[in-house]
Amino acid sequence: MPTHLDISKVSIEFPTAKGSFKALDSVSLKIEKGEFVSLIGHSGCGKSTVLNIVAGLYDATEGGILLDGKEVKGPGPERAVVFQNHSLLPWLTSYQNVELAVKQVFKKTKSKKEMHDWIMHNLELVHMTHAADKRPDEISGGMKQRVGIARALAMEPSVLLMDEPFGALDALTRAHLQDSLMEIQKDLNNTVIMITHDVDEAVLLSDRIVMMTNGPEATIGEILSVDLERPRDRLALANDPKYVDYRAQVLTFLYEKQRKVEPIVAVKEAKPTENNKVANA
Amino acid sequence: MNIPSLSIASLKEKVENFSVKSLLLPLFGILAFVLLWQVGASRVHTSLGEFPGPVVVYEQWNSLVAEHTNERIKEDKFYERQEKRIAARQAKDPSYVGKLRDYTGKPTFFDQIFTSLYTVLAGFGLASLIAIPLGILIGLNSSVYSALNPVIQVFKPVSPLAWLPLVTMVVSASYVSDDPMFSKSFLTSMFTVTLCCMWPTLINTAVGVAAVEKDLLNVSKVLRLGWVTHVMKIVIPSAIPLMFTGLRLSLGIAWMVLIAAEMLAQNPGLGKFVWDEFQNGSSNSLGRIMVAVLMIGFIGFLLDRAMLMIQRYVSWDKTQVLR
């Protein structure tokens, strides 16, 4: 049986004005079904790029992604993404945002009634049924992120990709959502790849933590298996020697082995060329 | 009644703030303008007498209203006479089928306003029907944009006066019908308005469509939305604010262009009214032209407000400050 998700020797180069820029060099990672994997590293190390390649939003220059033995080409709902800044459509209510995804994925397989129940079920999972008819500008940042997660879960993805899902939230809301995520994960047993730069979040949520070296030509530095009993309780873990040790290992990697010396002139992360056309009015 | 004094005080303050800002200050501005106008006007002498001040303009307004009422009475009487005549003929000869002839009196000031209004709305409507879909296409596809941009940039600054002769000739050559649904002058004015006013809507729609947030585009890609759903659910809603900016600019231009076109082409409407009064050259003419000027401004203002109301209604972002 092939690996569930196989990231195989992925490299990517972006064309820039000064020639091509190699952001990732030969990233390889095998992920089992139901595994929760965190990608951690300093900003600009290419964590998001890895996620975007798995999502199909970027094309790898070399190597490729296999999902259940099939090569990944282009984005699709079986690899749902929870974006860092929720990315809900501001003109649709929470319900309609989830509905857009559900209609797209289950148009042919579910009846209207079933789709409605499925939307409500997913809003229920993230405890957002009370705000089903509210638009994003009427709910808080944490609630928006919840709806974003509901939208992703509603696609019934094989792999759930989360790009710093709680990065923009305050500490309390973040802790709350992490707990919710663990709860959902317990029930659904999704395969998750999450990007984070929060060490506690990584240790608390993950089965494995993938630590990335600094770019350019970033790659996987170390992989740490987190062997802690689930369900995990953040308070109990705070003094758990194993937890403290895992945490120390990640911190050591980030702040000793891969200490980031910020260059004086910040090197901007190169993006694929977009046509930024501005028609002058 | 025992209302807590505090709430009365705060309410009073609110009412005062509201009325000072929204009523008193504008009123003051208008008053100052009217005063300056009165003083300034009496110092400007022309061959047709003094420049019309507010008082003269008010008198002319009244006389225009009176003319309109008289004209309507005449018209009613005209039709009444016809009907009586036909009825009398039919009484003698039951097989007689009478034909009602249209009243051919001179259009009044208010008839001209009405003509101008529906011409501008027709021209603007046609322009929007062309510009919005085309703008969406241009915004979505950079190749279409590159192909059409030079053409747009060249035609955008063309004055209505340059278009008018061409449009007139084309309309008279190609719109030949014994029983025309529209008059040629209406079509000429309308097409001129369309040609001149479509550009802001076209360009702003294109810019709005091209500027959809990248994250939302990614959402669309991950969901594999079809082209139609993508445009309807993601592109158009996010382009709506800029689209309306364009529509409001277009409507403003449409109104200005129309008056100029009517004046030059002698097509019915407010522009013709102004020109006729100018040619007439009576002592009342300047006052009447000034009435028309104010009316043109006021209608332009109302048109813009109407667009704003539609924007408020259509826009999903009710918190957006629109002015």
Q: Which residue of B has its CA nearest to A80?
A: B222
CB contact under 8 A, B225 and A104: yes
Both B204 and B97 in one domain: the answer is no
Both A58 and A110 in one domain: the answer is no
Which of the listed residues A130, A156, A182 is the one where a domain comes to its end?
A156
Full residue range of the structural domain in which residue B98 is found: 52-103
Count up the domains in chain B and report the number.
2
Which of the listed residues B60, B88, B103 is the one where a domain comes to its end?
B103
Both B82 and B142 in one domain: the answer is no
> In whole angstroms, how far apart are CA B171 and each of A131, A234, B175, B222?
57, 79, 5, 50
A236 and A251 Cβ atoms separated by less than 8 Å = no
Closest CA to A116 of A131, A99, A101: A99
Both B75 and B96 in one domain: the answer is yes
Q: Is residue B23 part of a domain?
A: no
Q: Choose, out of B222, B223, B317, the residue to mutate when testing the contact with A (most A CBs < 10 Å).
A: B222
Closest CA to A141 of A165, A160, A109, A106: A165
Lowest-confidence pick of A55-64, A191-200, B124-133, B313-322: B313-322
- Structural tokens at position B182: 């529209």
Predicted confidence band of residue B220 (pLDDT cuts 50, 70, 90): very high
CB contact under 8 A, A89 and B237: yes
- Residue B16's pLDDT is 66
Could you tell me which residues are beta bridge partners of residue A161? Answer: A81, A193
- Residue A134's pLDDT is 92
Both B76 and B188 in one domain: the answer is no
3-state secondary structure chain B: CCCCHHHHHHHHHHHHHHHHHHHHHHHHHHHHHHHHHHHHHCCCEECCEECCCHHHHHHHHHHHHHHHHHHHHHHHHHHHHHHHHHHHHHHHCCCCCCCCCCCCCCCCHHHHHHHHHHHHHHHHHHHHHHHHHHHHHHHHCHHHHHHHHHHHHHHCCCCHHHHHHHHHHHHHHHCCCCCCCCCHHHHHHHHHHHHHHHHHHHHHHHHHHHCCCHHHHHHHHHHCCCHHHHHHHHHHHHHHHHHHHHHHHHHHHHHHHHHHHHHHHCCCCHHHHHHHHHHHCCCCHHHHHHHHHHHHHHHHHHHHHHHHHHHHHHCCCCCCCCC
Both B94 and B219 in one domain: the answer is no
Both A59 and A113 in one domain: the answer is no
Q: Is residue A167 part of a domain?
A: no
Angle at A46 between CA A40 and CA A52, to 5 degrees: 100
Contacts of A79 in chain B (CB under 8 A): 222
Which of the listed residues B72, B103, B134 is the one where a domain comes to its end?
B103
Contacts of A108 in chain B (CB under 8 A): none
Both B123 and B158 in one domain: the answer is yes
Which of the listed residues A156, A185, A202 is the one where a domain comes to its end?
A156
Q: Which residue of B has its CA nearest to A93?
A: B316
Closest CA to A158 of A51, A56, A78, A52: A78
Report the share of chain B in percent with pLDDT over 90: 52
Q: Is residue A278 part of a domain?
A: no
Q: Is residue B197 part of a domain?
A: yes
Question: Which CATH number does the domain housing residue A19 bear?
Answer: 3.40.50.300
Both B168 and B291 in one domain: the answer is yes
B182 and B189 Cβ atoms separated by less than 8 Å = no
Instruction: Please state, as a whole number, how many other Cβ atoms lie within 10 Å of the Cβ of residue B310.
Output: 13
Mean pLDDT, range B274-291, rounded to an integer? 89
Both A51 and A92 in one domain: the answer is no
- Residue A275's pLDDT is 44
Both A123 and A98 in one domain: the answer is yes
Both A97 and A234 in one domain: the answer is no
pLDDT beneath 70: ranges in chain A: 1, 260-281
Q: Is residue A280 part of a domain?
A: no
- Residue A272's pLDDT is 47
CB contact under 8 A, B210 and A75: no
Full residue range of the structural domain in which residue A127 is found: 86-156
Q: Is residue B231 part of a domain?
A: yes
B150 has pLDDT over 60 = yes
- Return the number of CB contacts < 8 Å for A and B: 74
Both B180 and B212 in one domain: the answer is yes
Both A267 and A178 in one domain: the answer is yes
Q: Is residue B28 part of a domain?
A: no
What would the pLDDT profile of B243-271 be if each residue is shown by its tens digit? Answer: 999 999 999 999 999 999 999 888 889 99
Both B95 and B223 in one domain: the answer is no
Q: Is residue B46 part of a domain?
A: no
CB contact under 8 A, A277 and B222: no
Both B125 and B182 in one domain: the answer is yes
Which of the listed residues A100, A129, A156 is the one where a domain comes to its end?
A156
- Residue B319's pLDDT is 64
Both A70 and A193 in one domain: the answer is yes
> In whole angstroms, how far apart are CA A109 and each of A83, A113, A151, A216, B322?
27, 12, 18, 45, 44
Both A178 and A66 in one domain: the answer is yes
Contacts of B204 in chain A (CB under 8 A): 281
Tell me the nearest-neighbour CA distance from B147 into chain A, angstroms: 13
Both A35 and A125 in one domain: the answer is no
Both B126 and B97 in one domain: the answer is no
Both B89 and B114 in one domain: the answer is no
- ipTM score of complex: 0.82
Which of the listed residues B68, B103, B138 is the one where a domain comes to its end?
B103
B105 and B71 Cβ atoms separated by less than 8 Å = yes
Q: Is residue B9 part of a domain?
A: no
CB contact under 8 A, A89 and B234: yes
Question: Which CATH number does the domain housing residue B262 bear?
Answer: 1.10.3720.10
Q: Is residue A178 part of a domain?
A: yes
pTM over 0.90: no
Count up the domains in chain A and report the number.
2
